[in-house]
Chains A and B, each alone.
Chain A
Amino acid sequence: MEKKNTIKMKCFRFDPNNDKESHFETFEIPSNGAISVQNCLVYVRENIDPSLAFFINCRLGFCRRCLVRVNGKSCLACTTEVKEDFMVEPLLKEKVIRDLWCDGL
Chain B
Amino acid sequence: MDDIEELCDKVISTDLLIVGSEGAGGHAAIEASKSGIDILIVTKGKIGQCGASQMAGADFNVDGLAGKELGFEGDERDSPDLFFETLVREGLYLGNQKMVEKYVEYAPKAMKDLMDWGMKIYSYESAHTEEMARGIISSGILWVAAIRKKVKELKIPILEDTMVIDLLITEGKIAGAIALDIISGETILIKCKAVILATGGWHRAYPFNTGPEDLTGDGVAMAYRAGAELISMEMVQFCPITMVWPPKDKGSIILYIISEVDPFGKTIKLLNNKSERFMENYDPTNLEQSTKEIVSIASQLEIEEGRGGPHGGIFFSLKHTRKRFMDMLIKVASHRIKNEMKDTRYEFTTLLPELLERMKTEDIEVGNGAHYMGGGIKINENTETSISGLYAAGECSGGLWGAVRVASACTEAGIQGKIAGETVPKYVKSVENSVINIVQVKEVLNRINAPLLKEDGTTPNELQQKMHDISGKKVGLIKNGKDLEDGVRKFEVLLENDLGKLYIPSSKNKKLNFEWIRSIELRNMLTCLYISTRASLLREESRGEFYRKDCTHTDNDNWVKTIVIKKKDGKCDIRFEKPIITKISLPQGKLTYQEAIGVATASLKRD
**Are B461 and A62 neighbours in the complex by a CB distance under 8 Å?**
no
CB distance from B79 to the nearest CB of A (A): 36
CB distance from B180 to the nearest CB of A (A): 16
Contacts of A57 in B (CB 8 A): 45, 49-50, 212-214
Cβ-neighbour of B461 out of A33, A50, A64 (below 8 A): A50
**Are B246 and A34 neighbours in the complex by a CB distance under 8 Å?**
yes
A31 to B463 Cα, complex, angstroms: 24
B416 contacts A by Cβ under 8 Å = no
Say yes or no: A17-B245 contact (C-beta < 8 A), given A46-B461, A57-B213, A62-B55: no
**Are A34 and B247 neighbours in the complex by a CB distance under 8 Å?**
yes
Contacts of A49 in B (CB 8 A): 506
**Are B140 and A62 neighbours in the complex by a CB distance under 8 Å?**
yes
**Are B49 and A65 neighbours in the complex by a CB distance under 8 Å?**
yes
A47 to B247 Cα, complex, angstroms: 16
A46 to B513 Cα, complex, angstroms: 14
**Are B45 and A53 neighbours in the complex by a CB distance under 8 Å?**
no
A56 contacts B by Cβ under 8 Å = yes
Interface of B is mostly: loop
Q: Nearest chain-A residue to B350 (Cβ)?
A: A79
**Are A51 and B506 neighbours in the complex by a CB distance under 8 Å?**
yes
A13 contacts B by Cβ under 8 Å = no
Number of residues in A with C-beta < 8 Å to the partner? Answer: 30
Q: Nearest chain-B residue to A101 (Cβ)?
A: B512
**Are A56 and B213 neighbours in the complex by a CB distance under 8 Å?**
yes
A99 to B491 Cα, complex, angstroms: 35
B334 contacts A by Cβ under 8 Å = no
Cβ-neighbour of B248 out of A35, A97, A101 (below 8 A): A35
**Are A62 and B459 neighbours in the complex by a CB distance under 8 Å?**
no
Contacts of B509 in A (CB 8 A): 17
Say yes or no: A62-B46 contact (C-beta < 8 A), given A50-B461, A53-B514: no
A34 to B350 Cα, complex, angstroms: 15
Q: Nearest chain-B residue to A81 (Cβ)?
A: B248
A65 to B513 Cα, complex, angstroms: 18
**Are A50 and B505 neighbours in the complex by a CB distance under 8 Å?**
yes
Q: Nearest chain-A residue to B214 (Cβ)?
A: A57
**Are B512 and A98 neighbours in the complex by a CB distance under 8 Å?**
yes
Interface size class of B (residues with CB under 8 A): 35 or more
Q: CB within 8 Å of B: which of A13-52? A: 17, 32-36, 39, 45-47, 49-51
**Are B515 and A59 neighbours in the complex by a CB distance under 8 Å?**
no
**Are B212 and A58 neighbours in the complex by a CB distance under 8 Å?**
yes
**Are A60 and B346 neighbours in the complex by a CB distance under 8 Å?**
yes
Cβ-neighbour of A60 out of B45, B347, B512 (below 8 A): B347
| Binary A-proximity of B237-281 (CB < 8 A = 1, otherwise 0) | 000000001111111100000000000000000000000000000
B507 contacts A by Cβ under 8 Å = yes
CB distance from A54 to the nearest CB of B (A): 9
Contacts of B214 in A (CB 8 A): 57
**Are B252 and A60 neighbours in the complex by a CB distance under 8 Å?**
yes
**Are B515 and A61 neighbours in the complex by a CB distance under 8 Å?**
no
| Binary B-proximity of A59-77 (CB < 8 A = 1, otherwise 0) | 1111111000000000010
Q: Nearest chain-A residue to B515 (Cβ)?
A: A50
CB distance from B310 to the nearest CB of A (A): 8
A101 to B513 Cα, complex, angstroms: 12
Q: CB within 8 Å of A: which of B488-540? A: 505-507, 509, 511-515
A4 to B460 Cα, complex, angstroms: 28
Say yes or no: A63-B212 contact (C-beta < 8 A), given A33-B247, A57-B49, A97-B183: yes
| Binary B-proximity of A67-100 (CB < 8 A = 1, otherwise 0) | 0000000001001010000000000000001100
A35 to B329 Cα, complex, angstroms: 26
Cβ-neighbour of A50 out of B183, B247, B506 (below 8 A): B506
B141 contacts A by Cβ under 8 Å = yes
B54 contacts A by Cβ under 8 Å = yes
Q: CB within 8 Å of A: which of B137-185? A: 140-141, 183
B345 contacts A by Cβ under 8 Å = yes
**Are A63 and B50 neighbours in the complex by a CB distance under 8 Å?**
yes
A34 to B459 Cα, complex, angstroms: 29
CB distance from B599 to the nearest CB of A (A): 31
A81 to B350 Cα, complex, angstroms: 12
**Are A61 and B346 neighbours in the complex by a CB distance under 8 Å?**
yes
Q: Nearest chain-B residue to A16 (Cβ)?
A: B511
A64 to B214 Cα, complex, angstroms: 15
**Are A62 and B141 neighbours in the complex by a CB distance under 8 Å?**
yes
Q: Nearest chain-A residue to B55 (Cβ)?
A: A62
**Are A59 and B461 neighbours in the complex by a CB distance under 8 Å?**
no
Say yes or no: A36-B49 contact (C-beta < 8 A), given A56-B213, A60-B55, A60-B346: no
A95 to B251 Cα, complex, angstroms: 31
CB distance from B6 to the nearest CB of A (A): 24
Q: CB within 8 Å of A: which of B9-65? A: 45-46, 49-50, 54-55
Say yes or no: A36-B248 contact (C-beta < 8 A), given A59-B212, A59-B213: yes
Q: What are 28 A-B pairs at a CB distance below 8 A? A: A33-B246, A34-B246, A34-B248, A35-B246, A36-B247, A36-B248, A39-B247, A50-B459, A50-B461, A50-B515, A51-B515, A57-B45, A57-B213, A59-B251, A60-B55, A60-B252, A60-B346, A61-B346, A62-B212, A63-B45, A63-B49, A63-B50, A65-B45, A79-B346, A79-B350, A97-B183, A98-B512, A101-B512
Q: 7 closest A-B pairs (Cβ-Cβ)? A: A61-B346, A33-B246, A51-B506, A34-B246, A63-B49, A36-B248, A58-B212
Question: Chain A interface (Cβ within 8 Å of chain B)?
Answer: 17, 32-36, 39, 45-47, 49-51, 53, 56-65, 76, 79, 81, 97-98, 101
Question: Chain B interface (Cβ within 8 Å of chain A)?
Answer: 45-46, 49-50, 54-55, 140-141, 183, 212-214, 245-252, 345-347, 350-351, 459-461, 505-507, 509, 511-515
Given contacts A62-B54, A63-B49, 20 further A-B contacts (CB under 8 A): A34-B247, A35-B247, A39-B247, A39-B248, A50-B459, A50-B514, A50-B515, A57-B49, A57-B213, A58-B55, A59-B212, A60-B55, A60-B346, A60-B347, A62-B140, A62-B212, A63-B45, A79-B346, A81-B248, A97-B512
